[in-house]
Amino acid sequence: MIEFKNVCKTFRGPEGPVDALRDFSVTIEAGEFVVARGPSGSGKSTMLLVAGALLRPTSGNLTLGGQDPYALSPAKRGAVRAAQIGFVFQQFHLIPYLSVRDNILAPAVALPNPEAGARADELIDRFGLRERAQHLPAQLSTGERQRTALARAMLNQPKILLADEPTGNLDEDNGQVVVDHLAEFVSEGGTVLMVTHEQTGISHADRILRIEGGKLVSDDATTPHA
């Protein structure tokens, strides 16, 4: 499903090139919940952006469902993102002037779908946001914001969810709710690649990747979750 093959990513830093990913190879199968861990600056987020077709690797290959998104034009790559990938970020990145419902519907502009409205209402109910549907992000709690972001990520029924520290700004209870929703997505056949340095989510993970200095240092399968 997601395959990194000898992926390297180098940035130009003020003190010379910085290798964020070095010869990184891993394969994540469809329906897996994979957690990537590692210290700050280890390359986790870079790996996530490469997987999300947002950051072209310096060398090596990435394939999503057997297709190299970086071989596509930017417009087609955008279409692939809109159709196949959902993003959840630590900072939520909701559009400040759109209501909860409109934020959830935002991906529908990139991928028009006549059933988007019904899908958004379904997600609103599923994530317990009915009372907040017409509220602006600034009027929401952090947990509600992240649930809104998660609902937005799921609007186009993607195959993959990429989550970058999705519980980083949440208390334990809200963090658990988010992870539970990610797990539910996996149980419905989706694939989750979550970057975190917390313990939250470990219990649901199929595999835990350990990344240090841009390299995959371990890839451990966990006990199958219930």
Partner 1 sequence: MRLWRMLFREACHRRLTFAAGVLCAAVAVASLIAALVALAYHDAETQAVLERKAEETDQLLRQLREEMRKTTLKLSFNAIILPENQSLRDWHMQDYADEYMPEDYVMKLADSGIVTVRHFLPVLQRKVKWPERKQSIILVGTRGEVPNMHKSPKAPLVQPVPDGTIVLGHELHQRLGLKTGDEVVFMGQTFGVHRCHGERGTKDDITAWIPLKAAQELLDKRGKINAILALECLCVGAEGLARVRRDIMGVLPGTQVIEHGTKVIARAEARFRVGREAQEAYEQAEKERAEARARQERLAAVSVPLILAVCVLSMALLSYSNVRDRRNEMGILKALGYGTGTILLLVLTRALLTGCFGALIGTAGGATVARWLITRDPTAGLSVTLFPDARTAAAGVLVSLLLALVAAWIPALLASRTDPADILMRE
Q: For the chain, give the longest Cα–Cα distance.
A: 52
Report which of 206, 165, 164 is spatially closest to residue 183, judged by C-alpha positions.
Answer: 206
Q: Which residues bind partner 1 (CB under 8 A)?
A: 45-46, 49, 52, 54-55, 74-75, 78-83, 87, 89-91, 93, 95-98, 102, 105-111, 116, 152, 156, 164
Residue 165 region by backbone torsions, left for phi larger than 0, else alpha for psi between -120 and 50, else beta: left
| Residues 40, 20 contacting (CB under 8 angstroms) | no
DSSP string, 149-218: HHHHHHTT--SEEEEESTTTTS-HHHHHHHHHHHHHHHHTT-EEEEE-SSSTTGGG-SEEEEEETTEEEE
Closer by beta carbon to partner 1, 14 or else 224: 14
Closest separation in Å from C-beta 222 to partner 1: 27
Closest separation in Å from C-beta 77 to partner 1: 9
Closer by beta carbon to partner 1, 77 or else 215: 77
Closer by beta carbon to partner 1, 79 or else 208: 79
Closest separation in Å from C-beta 94 to partner 1: 8
Closest separation in Å from C-beta 223 to partner 1: 31
Closer by beta carbon to partner 1, 30 or else 110: 110
CA gap 77, 114 in Å, rounded: 22
Closest separation in Å from C-beta 225 to partner 1: 28
| Residues 196, 37 contacting (CB under 8 angstroms) | yes
Closer by beta carbon to partner 1, 46 or else 196: 46
